[in-house]
Structure 1
């Protein structure tokens, strides 16, 4: 299943719309992030997995691909944790994607599933 979540990247003093696409497919269990992620965005897979499990949900043992579009813009920081986690839950049909379609979602996740603030919220607003 595929889910699309709206998010925003901060570039300088500007907020750039980002689409977070999460696909859960049959195959060997893996978690791949594409779309020019920096190191902290690539590390989100560990925060997201722990947050999902510690929030009481089952983490899928399937092939997970996360695409951060547009692909030509470097994505930095931890603000994509929450949209990736919600995309994962929507792609797994645990939550309805329609409930997220009208929001731009940003937030860092702690390992227990709580949401932490992120830098750059003024350009995001």
Structure 2
């Protein structure tokens, strides 16, 4: 059984805060099944955007684990906003979460598909 988007976002933000990082819900989407997008910002102000991984990335053994793929890396705010606006035209129920990881890396917080 797959976790609801609301539950997943809540668990992610608690895990980030528990690890000494910071997380903020920038846009709240559909409680049950809204797609989740995660942004991080480096010290130079460049943004990395992760979005839902394509269905082909899912393993048969763990089909319920939420996976992400890298969508933009080293982008500026305008590029990220444009990409999210495009995603919202396709699905207006998306979630956008911004995180600043603490001790754990983004790859440890999210299941990022290769």
Q: Which TM-score applies when normalising by structure 2? A: 0.31
Higher relative contact order (CA 8 A, sep 6+): 2
